[in-house]
Chain A
Amino acid sequence: MIRLEGVTRRFRSAAGERTALDAVDLVVPQGQVFGVVGRSGAGKSTLVRTINLLERPDAGRVIVDGLDMTALAPAALRASRRRIGMIFQHFNLLNARTIADNVAFPLKLEGRPDAEVKARVAVLLDQLGLSEHARKHPAQLSGGQKQRVGIARALACEPHVLLCDEATSALDPETTDEILTLIDQLNRDLKLTVVMITHKMEVVRRVCDRVAVLKDGRVVEEGATADVFLHPQHEATRAMLAEDEDSFDLAAAAPAGGRLARLTFRGASTYEPELSRVARSVGVDYSILSGRISRIRNEPYGQLVVAFTGGDAEAAVAQLTARGVTVETIGEAG
């Protein structure tokens, strides 16, 4: 488990002082994939760097697996960093070393015997499908392959935490998908706690159990990904999610006199014909104005904006609610 308590980080420059993190409290539960989203400059990168103390907070405590990182002596801090793997947007591999040597690097830093290093590297390369590239240099690999090397290197010392700093932001969509699948798999197989920094909502939707939204160095919203994404409370979250959606004026598109409602289906009911059943029993018509049916993490969900016309919309809303659909009335069409 990772716990941040009142973590504050300020940067001083000629232009004055800027607060990158403002008294952030955050709990990352053991074994979960935890997303941190925000726009650039929101403090995401600083936040993830305080976890392994690459950025030392000006105030507050960082507790990883019961250990207060901010209180550790340099040698103890280095030892605990070895149990926290980290991967980066630009991979940060050592260009002068081969792929095998890059993966061996953290083990060598720790001073493990050569035979052990060799055996462990072989296992990791095999596990990540990199064996054939062992003797190549990073410049000879594609972005996705480089990130796999980054992951192999991060896993070398058997960490219980993996920090991902925009780990897929430099990759194309297909490779992003491949790396996310890999992270998801590592989380499940190795019970790895993962903290992911990203500005892409799609990444969070795919792999994160929980998500925190960061704005101007503060956590403005935090919760289970499905809750936060389907029922965002803070305007910053709504604004970020809105970029993913069609942003035309739904009320203008709706049939005259229609009543606009946002329906949210979750879990197994997503694939049930609930809307059509209710419409038939109440005798109401509906137009679907916008919608998405997908999965968040592994939970199916559907979110539709519909306009009810020509019947008792109130009754339809009541029946849908009774069937477990969340209904928010968002207005009347002109």
Chain B
Amino acid sequence: MDGFFVNVDWPEIGRATLDTMLMLGGSMALTVVFGVPLGVLLYLSGKGRLAANPVVNAVLSLIVNILRSVPFIILLIVMLPLTVLMVGTSLGVAGAIPPLVVGAAPFYARLVETALREVDKGVVEATQAMGGSTWQIVTRALLPEAMPGVIAGATVTAIALVSYTAMAGVVGAGGLGDLAIRFGYQRFQTDVMIVTVVLLLLLVQILQMLGDRLVARVSHR
């Protein structure tokens, strides 16, 4: 074993794994914080919905589409000054989180919007007929009914974020992706490359499994 994994610095791998987890956890939490309200607004302002508003919908939709059409690697670079302004550095875990959230929140917002659209209009109507306010309809009927889709969307987003964190390694974010690039690729240390890729693969597997379990738990169809 030692013969092959000669270049692998295990404590370094451990730190990088922790960094990746921190980036993922932090950016995912903020992605949900921004993505869910944005998705709800996209849904509510849509045609024929509770708070239909073509102007608001068009503006939100445009912002989301612009952010989603920028390749993440470009977004990382474009956002550098803004990131420094927000968190004081563009490096490390803290520096990676703003671009990760800006990249993932619009994507997640669309998934939330889609999940909300899947909810039977009759449920909204029934809640309205029971005297529910728009806030109550969203928080007590729409989101709980859309929960399987909202969670499945979060799983897809978290997995996309795993590959985003790897890219963030390019601009000095640290983490497993950074190791893979600096050692595995640039120094031809194939063993480091393999270890990091296997760890990333494991992370994706675990996320998907957790997501699927949660979806199964909240589905009652």
A pairs with B: yes
**A92 contacts across to B, CB distance below 8 A:** 120, 122-123, 125-126
Report the minimal beta-carbon distance from B136 to chain A, rounded to whole angstroms: 6
Report the minimal beta-carbon distance from B140 to chain A, rounded to whole angstroms: 7
Report the minimal beta-carbon distance from B123 to chain A, rounded to whole angstroms: 5
Does B71 lie at the interface of the complex (its beta carbon under 8 Å from any beta carbon of A)? no
A139:B221 contact, CB within 8 angstroms: yes
Report the minimal beta-carbon distance from A73 to chain B, rounded to whole angstroms: 13
Does B55 lie at the interface of the complex (its beta carbon under 8 Å from any beta carbon of A)? no
Partner of B122 from A78, A88, A106, A163 at Cβ < 8 Å: A88
**A137 contacts across to B, CB distance below 8 A:** 220
Does A27 lie at the interface of the complex (its beta carbon under 8 Å from any beta carbon of B)? no
Given contacts A88-B122, A88-B126, A92-B120, contact A79 B144 (CB under 8 A): no
Most chain B CB neighbours (cut-off 10 Å) among A95, A108, A110: A95
**A84 contacts across to B, CB distance below 8 A:** 129
Complex Cα spacing A315 to B123, Å: 62
Complex Cα spacing A110 to B220, Å: 25
Does A105 lie at the interface of the complex (its beta carbon under 8 Å from any beta carbon of B)? yes
**B131 contacts across to A, CB distance below 8 A:** 78-82, 106, 109-110, 157
Does B133 lie at the interface of the complex (its beta carbon under 8 Å from any beta carbon of A)? yes
Report the minimal beta-carbon distance from A246 to chain B, rounded to whole angstroms: 37
Given contacts A78-B131, A79-B131, A81-B130, contact A97 B144 (CB under 8 A): yes
**A109 contacts across to B, CB distance below 8 A:** 127, 130-132, 136, 140
Does A302 lie at the interface of the complex (its beta carbon under 8 Å from any beta carbon of B)? no
Most chain A CB neighbours (cut-off 10 Å) among B128, B130, B141: B130
B144:A94 contact, CB within 8 angstroms: yes
**B128 contacts across to A, CB distance below 8 A:** 54, 81
Complex Cα spacing A54 to B126, Å: 9
The secondary-structure label for the interface of chain A is: mixed
Interface size class of A (residues with CB under 8 A): 20 to 34
Given contacts A78-B132, A78-B133, A82-B131, contact A95 B220 (CB under 8 A): yes
Report the minimal beta-carbon distance from B121 to chain A, rounded to whole angstroms: 9
Given contacts A92-B120, A109-B140, contact A81 B147 (CB under 8 A): no
Does A200 lie at the interface of the complex (its beta carbon under 8 Å from any beta carbon of B)? no
Does B210 lie at the interface of the complex (its beta carbon under 8 Å from any beta carbon of A)? no
**A163 contacts across to B, CB distance below 8 A:** 129
Complex Cα spacing A230 to B211, Å: 62
B125:A96 contact, CB within 8 angstroms: no
Interface membership of chain B positions 140-172, coded 1 if the CB is closer than 8 angstroms to chain A and 0 otherwise: 110011010000000000000000000000000
**B62 contacts across to A, CB distance below 8 A:** none
B220:A139 contact, CB within 8 angstroms: yes
Complex Cα spacing A86 to B141, Å: 17
Interface membership of chain B positions 37-58, coded 1 if the CB is closer than 8 angstroms to chain A and 0 otherwise: 0000000000000000000000
**B120 contacts across to A, CB distance below 8 A:** 90, 92
Interface membership of chain A positions 78-116, coded 1 if the CB is closer than 8 angstroms to chain B and 0 otherwise: 111110101010111111110000000110111000000
Report the minimal beta-carbon distance from A56 to chain B, rounded to whole angstroms: 12
Interface membership of chain A positions 209-253, coded 1 if the CB is closer than 8 angstroms to chain B and 0 otherwise: 000000000000000000000000000000000000000000000
B221:A94 contact, CB within 8 angstroms: no
For residue A95, which residue of chain B has the nearest CB?
Answer: B220
Report the minimal beta-carbon distance from B125 to chain A, rounded to whole angstroms: 6
Given contacts A88-B122, A109-B136, A109-B140, contact A95 B221 (CB under 8 A): yes
Q: What 10 A-B pairs come out closest when comparing CB atoms?
A: A92-B122, A92-B126, A137-B220, A82-B131, A106-B130, A78-B131, A81-B131, A86-B129, A96-B144, A109-B132
B residues engaging A (CB < 8 A)?
Answer: 120, 122-123, 125-133, 136, 140-141, 144-145, 147, 218, 220-221
Of the A-B pairs whose beta carbons lie under 8 Å apart in the complex, a sample of 25, sorted by A's number, is: A52-B129, A54-B125, A54-B129, A74-B133, A80-B131, A81-B130, A84-B129, A86-B129, A90-B120, A91-B122, A92-B123, A92-B125, A92-B126, A93-B126, A94-B141, A94-B145, A95-B221, A96-B145, A96-B220, A105-B127, A108-B140, A109-B140, A138-B220, A139-B221, A157-B131
A residues engaging B (CB < 8 A)?
Answer: 52, 54, 74, 78-82, 84, 86, 88, 90-97, 105-106, 108-110, 137-139, 153, 157, 163
